[in-house]
Structure 1
């Protein structure tokens, strides 16, 4: 089907699971706080030391949402149009995150890094970030796959999952999905055992850990939707937010290689089942919508400040009181900044590109 034959209904956004949207926002804020805290404390002293598991929650939620949004219409819209819609949804903020990361790298007042990089080298690093081509070459950034915007590693794997879905998974039977999910669960357990945790995926050294993390969680989310494993409950947004935060606040221990896989393999899929079936109180609906809307812009724009904060901390060594106010204020300001980016840049760009797609 080409663009000229697309009906508006095929590209129309479906009704959202508002509580799941809200939980995505909670996870995004948690990972921002985690990134602040990991600059200051080793994992055993970081109160939100498992905040990085929010990425696995994102992956599981993505599988569920993609199945819900596209299973019944990807055949009509075609693979190419599906991929274009995903590109429109995700890539404007990939570009923005790269631009912000470049500015932070070039004009960091607390620690200049660009003096050893030629203009050509910086152009290559920036281009790889914009095009989501892994390029772990910057030692000052711990050889992140994407040195200018570290969280983009998960977007790289999100794109891979979307392509695999379009090419094969949307046609896969439930039994095949179950088999693939079990195999991916085995990979998660192996990584947890061999590495002692599930923190990898963001660096060149742990590149394939990201493949395992997206494989299991995305497949699990898709399997939940296909199997209609929706659990009715009265937990609501607040109750489920508390349950989600418990996973991130889980103490660091020598048993991380067991507890982290258990959270990813069982606990997060259970929360998706509960979130899809939970009753939404009218009083928190707007909060859930805002939380869901802000989650992706926050995730893709916050790391610019984290690099600056890391260099500031190394240079000035602020005390505990100063850190409390810096991290608290920084998190709130990043939420506000993400909202501005969403309203001023992301929504208008996506609206323009979507209109172009509908018009063919």
Structure 2
């Protein structure tokens, strides 16, 4: 078989775990709310202070889904076909998020373009983000490694994990994966200790490698859940599991962050994954879960352009609490609606076209 081509038979999607799709959507909405809130409040006063841990849940889910979808067929696909399939799945939204970020940067109605940004520098930042090349040069954006679309930092590590999976991880025995996960867990504990008890890292130049530690453990944990079939049959359903997931994000900020954050990532999220994979889903909620799963990635990759505009607005006008509540609720709803339009009219048809084009 020509391994440079995508075989349509291989690309057929396996049966989905719809509840996990739904939980991914819940996590994506939670992180949008978290990003609104962190602009306004310090962690001590932020009711969703641990919403950033949604990224670690994404990483764990990614490890499970990649192992489930590709462990038994990546050898038939070949590396080239695997990488093409992942690029088709992920990169259209990288492009969309980068373009939206550039538009928001150039036409922010509350700040204009900050001083010191020549056309050449803006072009360099744009193409670095487009090509997923870390480039923490924007001081006014806290040296995000992708200044035009901050959430892309986690996609960078997703790409890294996918590459390592295809080259190494899928070949390894379960015992070796367990050993690597143990090393990754120890590394994550060190990162938490070094960062004064917080796992909120990976997005900026100064904490770049924290992102590697975060995905290393969670991705491997997701793979191990699949490899060992750690699936817990239960009747919690989507609503019950959504409540359990939200509890992790709603944990109050405290002096015990060094412990609570580690326990959530090391134990709680893998447990939710195992329960979610074995939960029963009522037919009445299946369509909602499928919709949330499809919406989650477009929402995650398109919402942050609005966050920079909101931050500029808040700094300039300092609106009161009633108006802030309206803005955050209304803004989240609008961003969900916008992500739906991006999904329906850009991401879905483009990926369908690319799959057809590169399966020939």
TM-score, normalised on structure 1? Answer: 0.98
Structure 1: how far apart are the matches of 2:199 and 2:239? 27
Tell me by how many angstroms 1:113 deviates: 2.8
Query: Residue 85 of structure 1 aligns with which residue?
Result: 85
The within-5 A match list for 1:26-175 is: 26-175=26-175
User: 1:177-326 to 2 correspondence within 5 Å?
Assistant: 177-195=177-195, 196-326=197-327
Deviation by residue 1:136-187 (Cα, 9 ceiling, x = unmatched): 0001111000000000000000000000000000101000000000000001
Per-residue deviation, 1:40: 0.3
Cα contact 2:193–2:258 (8 A) shared by 1: yes
Kindly state the Cα deviation for residue 348 of structure 1 after the two structures are TM-superposed. 1.1
Structure 2: gaps spanning 5 or more residues:
none
Secondary structure of 1:358 counterpart: coil
Q: Distance in 2 between matches of 1:33 and 1:2?
A: 46
The separation in 2 between residues aligned to 1:312 and 1:270, in whole angstroms, is 40
Query: What stretches of structure 1 of length at least 5 have no aligned partner?
Result: none
CA distance in 2, matches of 1:213, 1:6: 31
Deviations 1:215-261 (A, max 9, x none): 00000000110000000000000000000000000010011011101
Q: Could you say which residue in structure 2 is the equivalent of 1:352?
A: 353
Q: Could you tell me how far apart the structure 1 residues matched to 2:302 and 2:4 are?
A: 35
Residue-by-residue CA offset, 1:243-292 (whole Å, 9 max, x unaligned): 00000000100110111011000000000000000000111001000110
Equivalent residues of 1:3, 1:357 under 8 A apart:
no
Flag the 1:181–1:354 CA change in 2: closer, same or farther, 3 A. Answer: same
| 1:45 to partner: Cα distance | 0.2
- For residues 23 and 130 of structure 1, the distance between their equivalents in structure 2, rounded to whole angstroms, comes to 28
RMSD of the TM alignment (CA)?
A: 1.0
Q: Residue by residue, what CA displacement relative to the aligned partner does 1:41-92 show, whole Å, maximum 9, x if unpaired?
A: 0000000000000000000000000000000100000011101100000000
Query: How far 1:211 moved relative to its partner?
Result: 0.4
Change (3 A) 1:6 1:248: closer
Q: Secondary structure at the match of 2:359?
A: helix
Contact 1:24–1:295 (8 Å) recurs in 2: yes
How far apart are the structure 2 equivalents of 1:101 and 1:7? 35
Secondary structure of the equivalent of 2:112?
Answer: coil
Shift of 1:192: 1.1
Give the C-alpha shift of residue 12 in structure 1.
Answer: 1.0
Instruction: Please say if residues 3 and 358 of structure 1, whose CA atoms lie closer than 8 Å, have aligned partners that are also in contact.
Output: no
TM-score between the two structures when normalised by the length of structure 2: 0.98
Preserved contact between residue 49 and residue 251 of structure 2 (Cα < 8 Å):
yes
In the alignment, the residues of structure 1 paired with residue 75 and residue 345 of structure 2 have an alpha-carbon distance, to the nearest angstrom, of 34
Deviating above 6 A after TM superposition, structure 1's stretches of 4 or more consecutive aligned residues are none
Shift of residue 115, structure 1, vs aligned partner: 3.9
Question: How far apart in 2 are the matches of 1:164 and 1:37?
Answer: 35
Q: How far is the alpha carbon of 1:116 from its aligned partner?
A: 2.0
Deviations 1:197-224 (Å, cap 9, x if unpaired)?
A: 1001100000000000000000000011
Q: CA-to-partner distance for each residue in 1:320-355, whole Å, 9 max, x for gaps?
A: 000000000000000000000001100111111111
Equivalent-residue separation in structure 2 for 1:277 and 1:319 (angstroms):
45
How many residues in Structure 1 have an aligned counterpart in Structure 2? 359
